[in-house]
Chain A
Amino acid sequence: MKLIRGQSLFVDILIWGFLILTALLILAPIIFMFTASLMPARDIVKMPYPWIPQGLYLNNYEQAVRGNDGSYIFPRNILNSFIVAGLVSVTTVLISALTGYGLAKFPFRGRNLVFLIIMATMMIPFEAIMIPLYLVATSLRIQNTYTGLILPFLTNAFGIFLMRQYLITFPDEILDAARIDGSGELSIFWRIILPNSAPAIATLSILTFRSQWDNLLWPLLIAQSEEMKTIPLYIVKFAAEKHTDEGAMMAAAAIASIPILILFLTLSKYFVSGASLYSSRKG
């Protein structure tokens, strides 16, 4: 045993070095975003890049919020992102929990088929159905509204899968006891199932929030007026404008990232458990 350890000291250092270097390389663009957001443009394009801002140059943030046309529409777009991502998280959790509970705890004829049909929707990429969905939204006259931004994402197969897997091991005795006490099925769902699914709900709502925060394609189709746009749309437009200053671009990117990075740093456990959920399915 000792021999192996002695041999691998060199390998040990090599692996540590490699991991630390990779971590720094991966973090570098994020560090670049934050440092550049605090520098005047002439420092950002300096060669070599200075990495440490000389003081806090907050003009960038001001310009990002003001916009090139001085319309101050970015705060509204940020609010829209919060509204859409928040509402979608709530509906996704509720509907997924409802369906997951039904699939996990209520034997009915055709249950496996229903589960299969729902899982099959994972195979339908949003990119392939966005045009028909857009036509549906136009005929419902919900383009350029919050309803339109939210409606196609009320729930998803992944959420239902997650809730079903979580609830399938929930003890039946508790449910039966509640039934004998005279609780209705809906009140059992509301008062027993939901409060006891906190970890799964936390994972699902965080993943949903993140993916809606990131959503570009659907708002691009559906949000036409500046007032209804979300953060990604604002950033695309802002980055494409000729006279946008590099620092202001990074400030806008930083503003868009701060809420999600705070979530990540405080609740990283749920982000990680969401990512690893897929692979635990087999084991």
Chain B
Amino acid sequence: MNRILNRGIEHKKARWGWFFVLPSLVFFSIFSFYPIINAFYTSLFRKRLLSLRPPTFVGLDNYEYLLKSPDFWNSIKATFIFTLGTFIPIVICSLLLAAFIMSRKRFQKLFQMAFYSPAVLSSVVAATIWLLIFDPRGLANQGMNFLLGTVGTDYKWLASANMVRFSTILVYFWKYIGYFTIIYITGLASIPQSLHEAARIDGANGWKDFWYITIPLLKPTTVLVSIMSMLQCLKTFSTQYLFTQSGAPLEPINVITLNIYNTAIRDHNIGRASSMSVILFVIMLFFTWVQFRASRSGGEVDYM
């Protein structure tokens, strides 16, 4: 009797469980899974925006076109330069900043807030501020002239190809460094203090403690930070969009997302834009997988 009653309750609970998750499942089916499948599907067609003609099936033609297109390879190159140039410095610097903040007994919260504040601003606002800083008469040139001891040199932040790449990297680095510093601080705080004390007793100095205790134990956080920052960089859009809209050269910073947007909205070529979307998706999946594998190979860190 009791068992039957229990089963009844469990049955009822299961039904309510489905009821509670159902809205989300419907939502994700329509707004996540259907679009990504649709992107795969559309990438096999020649399809134009606003065109009344039915799309024609072209197989892998769109992909073939892209693989031969210098414009697309330029986008791949721009995206990878941006991603590598941004996420590696972010991982290293945010770790160092977090370690420095945690080594202080006072004002930890204050520093965290100061470093985090750019991440709070809109990316468009961030890009607008830097647009003025990179002005020929702006702070960037003033700063460089001061540091390098030059007088009145224009470093062409938004004009020369390499500098405009560097400029977008700088904006992104500035905006997200604090965010990842905070993630590292949480990671640092979760390392038991007793381990540091044990290392000290064994004669390790601050540097050795950091290198042999902190860094290895932070591996899960480092994997997390590098995956998150890398994915974030691969889909960068706002800074590049605003800079090109305001007159910066397109080619050096024509990242994949910007190319997708222009191909679809300006050139009305939906099929080709979809195949680019699929390639972006696959690239992101691939790099996440690579980093997960790399993090597994060293063995799981366990200090609990």
Interface residues of A (CB under 8 A from B): 4, 8, 11, 15-16, 18-19, 22-23, 26-30, 32-33, 36, 44-45, 47-49, 95-96, 98-99, 101-103, 105-109, 111, 114, 117-118, 121, 123-136, 151-152, 154-155, 157, 160, 185, 189, 210, 213-214, 216-217, 220-221, 231-232, 235-236, 239-240, 246, 249-250, 252-253, 256-257, 260-261, 263-264, 268, 271-272, 275-276, 278-280, 282-283
Contacts and interface: CB of A to CB of B under 8 A. Distances in A.
Interface stretch (B61-69, B81-89, B281-289): B281-289
Contacts of A45: 135, 137-138
Given A26-B115, A129-B39, A278-B228, A117 B122 contact: no
A124 B32 contact: yes
Interface stretch (B70-78, B158-166, B259-267): B259-267
A246 B134 CA distance: 12
Contacts of B33: 121, 124
Contacts of B261: 130, 217, 220
A101 B16 CA distance: 10
Nearest to A27: B114
B125 interface: yes
A131 B124 contact: no
Contacts of B231: 125
Nearest to B255: A127
CB-CB nearest 9 A-B residue pairs: A102-B20, A106-B17, A108-B14, A129-B35, A276-B186, A132-B35, A108-B17, A132-B38, A99-B24
A118 B24 contact: yes
Interface of B: 10, 13-21, 23-25, 27-28, 30-36, 38-39, 42, 97, 100-101, 103-104, 111-126, 128-133, 135, 137-139, 142, 174, 177-179, 182-187, 190, 205-206, 220-221, 224, 228, 231, 234-235, 237-238, 241-242, 245-247, 256-257, 260-261, 264-265, 270, 273-274, 277-278, 280-281, 284-285, 288
Nearest to B38: A132
B122 A29 contact: no
A26 B114 contact: yes
A109 B15 CA distance: 10
Given A4-B205, A30-B117, A98-B21, 13 more contacts: A19-B100, A22-B115, A26-B115, A30-B118, A111-B17, A118-B21, A121-B33, A125-B280, A152-B31, A214-B122, A216-B238, A216-B241, A275-B179
Contacts of B270: 131, 135
A212 B294 CA distance: 34
Contacts of A117: 25, 28
Given A44-B132, A275-B183, A127 B122 contact: no
B235 A260 contact: no
Contact of B274 (A26, A131, A260): A131
A128 B273 contact: no
A235 B30 CA distance: 31
Nearest to A213: B122
B152 to A, nearest CB: 9
A118 B264 CA distance: 28
A98 B20 contact: yes
A29 B170 CA distance: 12
18 contacts: A15-B103, A19-B104, A26-B174, A27-B117, A30-B117, A30-B118, A99-B21, A107-B14, A124-B35, A128-B36, A128-B280, A133-B31, A214-B122, A217-B238, A236-B245, A260-B122, A276-B185, A282-B221
A260 B121 contact: yes
A29 B24 contact: no
B278 A15 contact: no
Contacts of B115: 22-23, 26
B178 A239 contact: no
Contacts of A127: 235, 237, 256-257, 260, 277, 280
Contact of B104 (A15, A102, A246, A272): A15
A185 B205 CA distance: 57
A257 B10 contact: no
A19 B101 contact: yes
Contact of B129 (A29, A108, A157): A29
A240 B244 CA distance: 9
A191 B118 CA distance: 38
Contact of A29 (B120, B133, B205, B235): B133
Contacts of B205: 4
Contacts of B220: 279, 282
